[in-house]
């Protein structure tokens, strides 16, 4: 069973460009979470999605950031008009649908975004 | 709001020595508790978790953690550290009863000397 997949692993964007980060959850998982890790800091929650629904976006910046998890395909975290402060590692996690496993989140390897 | 405190930013231990990493949480009830490990440039791997029941939980790689309700703590321990344990360790909490976001501590970086 493949783990959580994220791509690209490294992404370089110039200020003002758009960044698209993709996350494919583990097979059988329908819950996806996005976290951001700034240098020398812990992970901060951004958004929690189920298929076609945003459940909790309380950690998402109000502007320039959006997330989706369509019925088919990976979850996408989109950052418009990137700024240097967006440089960070972005991690996706997924969890199963039912049972106690619902509360366990499995993390992908992350996408390291560098804004120049 | 819930919060997690890991008071030790950096710990150095000798290989073969015992290890204890501290974690304290602030939450209205007993949350679900987790320890994750992150190797440099890698994602997070779940070491162990506590939902309910026995307060001493066993995890992978020889780690264990003890939940102490009176102290709001969930400290991670290992009797004998290996050089490969050098990594960053994160304690995290989540509300009980529903799938939800994790709140992480700031992490403890473990260095192992030979």
Q: Does residue B99 register a pLDDT over 70?
A: no
What tens digit of pLDDT does each residue of A81-101 get?
Answer: 999 999 999 999 998 876 656
Helices (H), chain B: none
Record: contact A43-B104, CB cut-off 8 A: yes
Nearest by CB: B102 against A31, A105, A108: A105
For B21-73, what is each residue's pLDDT tens digit? Answer: 999 999 877 789 999 999 988 889 999 999 888 999 999 999 999 999 999 99
The pLDDT tens digits of the residues spanning A15-44 come to: 999 999 999 999 888 899 999 998 878 899
Q: What element of type H or E holds A10?
A: strand A10-13
A107 touching B, CB under 8 A?
Answer: yes
Residue appearing with tokens 């009830």: B29
Which of B49, B104, B107 is the closest to A104 by Cβ? B49
B3 contacts on A by Cβ (under 8 Å): none
Q: What is the pLDDT of residue A42?
A: 83
Q: Provide the sign of the torsion angle of the four alpha carbons A101, B61, B6, B90, taken in this order.
A: negative
Search chain A and give the residue with CA nearest B49. A104
């Amino acid at each position: 069973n493949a783990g959580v997949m994220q791509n690209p692993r490294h992404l370089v964007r110039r200020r003002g460009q758009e960044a698209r980060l993709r996350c494919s959850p583990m097979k059988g998982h329908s819950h996806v979470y996005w976290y951001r890790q700034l240098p020398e800091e812990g992970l901060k929650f951004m958004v929690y999605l189920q298929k076609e629904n945003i459940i909790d976006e309380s950690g998402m910046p109000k502007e320039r950031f959006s997330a989706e998890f369509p019925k088919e395909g990976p979850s996408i975290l989109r950052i418009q008009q990137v700024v240097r402060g967006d440089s960070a590692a972005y991690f996706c996690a997924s969890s199963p649908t039912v049972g106690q496993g619902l509360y366990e989140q499995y993390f992908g390897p992350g996408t390291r975004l560098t804004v120049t | 709001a819930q919060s997690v405190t890991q008071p030790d930013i950096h710990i150095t231990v000798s290989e073969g020595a015992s290890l204890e990493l501290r974690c304290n949480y602030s939450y209205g009830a007993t949350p679900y508790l987790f320890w994750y490990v992150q190797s440099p440039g890698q994602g997070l791997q779940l070491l162990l978790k506590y939902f309910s029941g026995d307060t001493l939980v066993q995890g992978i790689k020889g780690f264990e953690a003890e939940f102490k309700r009176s102290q709001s703590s969930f400290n991670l321990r290992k009797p004998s550290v290996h050089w490969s344990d050098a990594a960053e360790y994160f304690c995290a909490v989540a509300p009980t009863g529903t799938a939800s976001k994790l709140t992480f501590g700031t992490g403890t970086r473990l260095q192992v000397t030979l």
